Amino acid sequence: MPEITEQIKNDVKDIVVDFFSEECEVEPDTITMNTHIFDDLDGDSLMFLELIEIFKKKYNLNIDLKTIGKYSVKHPVRTIGELIDMQLLIIEHEDNIINLD
Amino acid sequence: MIVGCGIDTEELSRFDKHLADVENSGFVKLVFTEREIENYKSNFGQFIPLGFCCKEAVFKAVGDSWTTSPVHWQDIELLFKSVSQSTYEIKISGHAKKILERLGNPTIVSEFNMSPESVTFHVILINE
């Protein structure tokens, strides 16, 4: 279970912003923590799944997609900031994310 | 009576990055069952986008998705009976099956259209 350092926080933010910038063809500096993934960027589930896979590979995460789905039911992700927060929790807790409040 | 309706369209090019090495693609393993991957071997380039599009259309038809309920991508399987895509079946299991039971076990009526650029899948749930 890795400790979430400032470096990891910055890396996750950069990966998320770069990913949506490329996929949605928007300038990175227009994406903020409050940017709505679906309403503002026209993001979709395919992008969401691809991003999960990117993080699974980068951090060698042991997490089931079903677990992420169950977590998302309780904690809906709508903005870039919420997505980054969820991703940091996944990196820190992996499959145990479901046991968090 | 129609109890659900879902339509999804996907650009084929969006799947290119996952088609280079399908059997080792993390994305493919997240979304598709082993049975689907085996079934799609003859034409991953068409069947992977079709399968994804079908699952999205079913999510929309039942009014739930993997981030709003315990339904999972692999609860919905699109399996082709012939390489020509002319016959196929949509198999439902897990939580998706429970949702359909709540809807009265409707018949799933579906069709798809495929162009060189995109695929569209239509799903209608009908109770007799």
Instruction: Indicate the pTM of the whole model.
Output: 0.88
Q: In this structure, which amino acid lies at residue A9?
A: K
Query: If pLDDT is split at 50, 70 and 90, which confidence band does B121 have?
Result: very high
Strand locations in A37-78 (E): none
Mean pLDDT of chain B: 92
Which chain B residues are closer than 8 Å to A77 by Cβ? 67
- Asked if A80 and A20 count as a contact pair (C-beta separation under 8 A), the reply is yes
- A69 contacts in chain B (CB < 8 Å): 66-67, 70-72
Give chain A's contact residues with B (Cβ, < 8 Å): 45-46, 48-50, 52-53, 56-57, 65-66, 69-70, 72-73, 76-77
Specify the CATH number for B2-126; select among 3.30.450.40, 3.90.470.20, 3.30.365.10, 3.40.50.1110. 3.90.470.20
CB contact under 8 A, B67 and A49: no
d(CA B69, CA A58): 27
Residues of B in Cβ contact (< 8 Å) with A79: none
Domains in chain B: boundaries? 2-126
| Residue A1 lies inside a defined structural domain of this protein | no
Location of structure tokens 């890795």: A2
pLDDT tens digits, one per residue of B84-96:
767 999 999 999 9
Q: Backbone phi, then psi, for B69, in 5-degree steps?
A: -160, 170
Interchain proximity A65–B73, CB inside 8 Å = yes
Q: What tokens does B50 get?
A: 């079709």
Report the sign of the C-alpha dihedral through residues A39, A45, A48, A50, in that order: negative
- Residue B74 above 70 pLDDT? yes
User: Which DSSP category does B110 fall into?
Assistant: E
User: Taking every pair of C-alpha atoms in chain A, what is the biggest distance, in angstroms?
Assistant: 37
The residues of chain A scoring below 70 in pLDDT are 1, 101
Tens of pLDDT, residue by residue over B4-59, are: 999 999 999 999 989 988 888 889 988 999 999 999 999 999 999 999 999 999 99
Domain of A94: which CATH number? Answer: 1.10.1200.10
C-alpha of A32 from chain center? 14
User: What residue numbers bound the domain in which A55 lies?
Assistant: 6-99
A95 in a structural domain: yes
Angle between helices A45-58 and A6-24 (to 10 degrees): 140
A6: phi then psi, degrees, rounded to nearest 5: -60, -35
Domain count, chain A: 1
Question: What is the pLDDT at residue A36?
Answer: 95
What is the rounded radius of gyration, in angstroms, for the C-alpha atoms of chain B? 14
